[in-house]
Amino acid sequence: MKNDSYILVVDDQMANIESLGESLADQYDVRFALSGQSALEVIAKSKPDLILLDIMMPDMNGYEVCRVLQSHPDTAQIPVIFITALATPEEETQGLDAGAVDYIVKPFNPSIVRARVRNHLALKYANDQLRVLSLTDSLTGLANRRHLFERLSSEIEHLQAKPETEPFAIILIDIDYFKRYNDTYGHVAGDFCLQRVAGVIRSALRSPADLTARYGGEEFCCLLHQATLDEARQIAERISQSVADLEIPHLGAYERQFVTVSAGVAQWQPHMAHIESVLQAADEALYAAKATGRNKVVC
């Protein structure tokens, strides 16, 4: 069966590339690079699922390529298998220390290369799935709290490195009278309501650089990359209107009779020391929205 995994073979000898290609091309999308530098360029454009990497190459050797890949979060998860004529225990140890998942000595046996590639791809896919699961809220499919905090930390790191850029803003959104919704319609209907509200919030985002997370039970948080307070307020207003437009009946919501949300908006300020500071600012705004009638946005 043809697998669409993309494998990059890096070797300075065309003969090695050809024989590895012959062993793998019937099962995978195999591409090549003839030097470490050109491999890094290819990887920057399109991330392989696995890399077969020679060690002895002019200019930049395989150990160095592997270390560069390990040092960037975008490429650190790509499995690297060294495939090399260097056969001493010290050389193999050095390869594994550099971050490779496996080490094959030339001349290689094609069926062993195929088996190792298959096993490492299976492991990589399992790891990718685990990572997605660990960052996703299972009810709504939105990012979970862990994912939100990872992204908030990287936003703050980015701002510390480039203080001249526009900071991020956040919107905290809380469904109004949701306890009464559950009491009136039951938890299953409550879950369905959460999913519908989550869908509305997700579609209000501007770009993949923004993130929507389920922050707690019936609370959501939007992280808006490089957004002014006014931009964030407009997005929050749009979300609030779109939730109201769903017209989900809610007899417990007093005179409104439909599900609505309240939102608090805040922007990261240079004097803030912690993630919690900006969350607290948004939480105070949300509290003010709740205290002054709900179904509104406060900055």
Which residues are part of the catalytic machinery? 218
- Give the interface segment with ligand GH3, choosing from 28-36, 87-95, 150-158, 188-196 (CB under 6 A): 188-196
Contact segment (CB under 6 A) with ligand GH3 among 58-66, 123-131, 173-181, 270-278 equals 173-181
141 is a site residue for ligand GH3 (CB under 6 A): no
Q: Is 290 in the site for ligand GH3 (CB under 6 A)?
A: yes
Q: Which stretch binds ligand GH3 (CB under 6 A): 1-9, 168-176, 204-212, 270-278?
A: 168-176
Q: Is 197 in the site for ligand GH3 (CB under 6 A)?
A: no
Whether 198 contacts 297, CB under 8 Å: no
Tokens 């407009």 correspond to what residue? 234
Please state, in angstroms and rounded to a whole number, the distance separating the CA atoms of residues 151 and 137: 15
- Minimum CB distance to Mg ion, residue 123 (Å): 26
Cβ closer to Mg ion: 181 or 225?
181
**178 scored as a contact of ligand GH3 (CB under 6 A):** yes
- For the CA atoms of 183, 189, 194, 200, the dihedral, rounded to the nearest 10 degrees, stands at -130
Residue whose CB is less far from ligand GH3, 78 or 259? 259
At residue 117, the 3 state secondary structure works out as: helix
Site for ligand GH3 in 201-240 (CB under 6 A): 217-218
95 sits near ligand GH3 (criterion: CB under 6 A): no
- Rule CB under 6 A: is residue 176 a binding residue for ligand GH3? yes
Partner that binds at residue 54, options ligand GH3, Mg ion, none, CB closer than 5 to 8 Å by kind = Mg ion
Question: Can you tell me which of 30, 39, 175, 222 binds ligand GH3, judged by CB under 6 A?
Answer: 175
Nearer to Mg ion, 57 or 121 (CB): 57
Whole-angstrom distance, CA of residue 76 vs CA of residue 60: 18
Helix (H, G, I), strand (E, B) or coil at 265: strand
User: Helix, strand, or coil here: 203?
Assistant: helix
Nearer of residues 51 and 282 to ligand GH3, judged by Cβ: 282
Sheet hosting strand 29-33, strand order edge to edge: 29-33, 6-10, 50-53, 80-84, 102-105
What SS3 state is found at 196?
helix
CB of 247 within 8 A of CB of 224? no
What Cα–Cα distance (Å) separates residue 233 from each residue in 41, 68, 279, 298? 40, 41, 15, 8
d(CA 186, CA 204) in angstroms, rounded, equals 28
Our finding on whether 137 is near ligand GH3 (CB under 6 A) is: no
246, two tokens: 């769903």
With respect to ligand GH3, which residue has the nearer C-beta, 39 or 221? Answer: 221
- Tokens 């607290």 sit at which residue? 280
Where does this chain bind ligand GH3 (CB under 6 A)?
Answer: 139, 174-180, 182, 187, 190-191, 194, 217-218, 290, 294
